[in-house]
Structure formats: C-alpha cells, structure tokens
Amino acid sequence: MSLKKVVILFSGEGSNLENLIATLHQKTFGTTTIEVVAAITNKPTAKGIEKANKYGVDSIILDHTEFDSREAFDTKLVETIQNLEVELTVMAGFMRILTPIFTNNIQAINIHPSLLPLFKGASALERSFESDMQVAGVSVHEVITEVDGGKIIAQKCFDKSEMDFATFKAKIHQTEHEIFPEAVIKVLQTI
C-alpha cells in the first residue's frame, strides 16, 4: 500500500474539484491510496472553496492580483506546492498561464474541454462546438510551458452532431467528471 498526496488548483465554481475530491480523497485504488491534502485557488471569491471545505480539504488562497508579475506569483505557488510535499498537482479549471518557474519545478496535469491538439487555449469549448467536426471531447494532459501542449494522458470523445450548445456543454462537463479521476489514478500509479 502506498499513500499518494495530491493538491488541486482551481479558479472558479469547482465542479471538477468537487468531483475529484468526492471520487479520490482518502480512497484506495489497487495498492494506491490517494489523499487530497489541499486545494489552491488564485481567486478569493471562488465558489470551489466551499466545495473543498465540505469535504474537509483546506483551501489556500494565493490572489494573483497581489503579485507584481506572473513569475512572482508562480514562485509563491511553487513554494506553496513544494511545502505540501505532494506527488502530483492537478489543475481543475485553474485559469492561469504558467511560466517555466512552475512548469520546470512541478509535475502537474490539466483537463481541457477539447480533443487536443485541437482548440488549445481559451474559448476551447465554444470553438470545439462551433467547428464542423462531428465529434468533440475532453483531454487530460501533462502541463508544460506551451499552453495545452503537454503529452496527452487520456481522451474521451462523443458525437456532437445533434446537440445544441447547452447540451454540448453539459456533455463536456459529464465527460470531464468521468475521465479526470481515472487519469489522476493512472498517473499516480506510475509515480
């Protein structure tokens, strides 16, 4: 049996944060027990703070507006994560472009609402929906300096041809909730 510690980074509502905590926190998969030791947000008013608290997971607030630069923020973020002594950092709607200060020092994975390498960056959900592709989906990838450019860990797709945007968005979120915990387990079992 091995204990693997995780920290989750988020910026908003925290639906993926809550799903990850509910699915993974203090649970055992094979010989790996997972503990979510903390959640870190860059937004003091993020709704995910309440969701983490509901499960007894402390939230750490690092308000990015209080830092002079991306590099200064990332330096504090890296220091905070390293002090937690986690095996993996999981980005669940953490809306920050990270510098090499982060990407060179922290092993992290991220979820993205498109089939990478298509529709990298912001507005991926809308761009994926508006494309003439018949399928859409979700990707989990390693975090590197290039936005949404890291190695793909997991993907899942679905037929979007008959969907309106509200249905499409709901299906993306449902797919994220299915694939993300599985990807976290997969990565932790290789560390």
Q: So which residues are the catalytic ones?
A: 112
Which of 102, 59, 97, 109 minimizes the C-alpha distance to 79? 102
How many Å apart are CA 11 and CA 40, to the nearest integer?
A: 8
How many Å apart are CA 112 and CA 118, to the nearest integer?
A: 10
Q: What is the DSSP secondary structure assignment for residue 191, as one 8-state letter?
A: -
Residues 6 or more apart whose Cβ sits within 8 Å of residue 128: 113, 114, 115, 118, 119, 136
Q: Where are the alpha helices (DSSP H) in 42-191?
A: 48-54, 70-84, 100-103, 124-130, 165-188
How many Å apart are CA 79 and CA 17, to the nearest integer?
A: 21
- How many CB atoms neighbour CB 82 within 10 A? 11
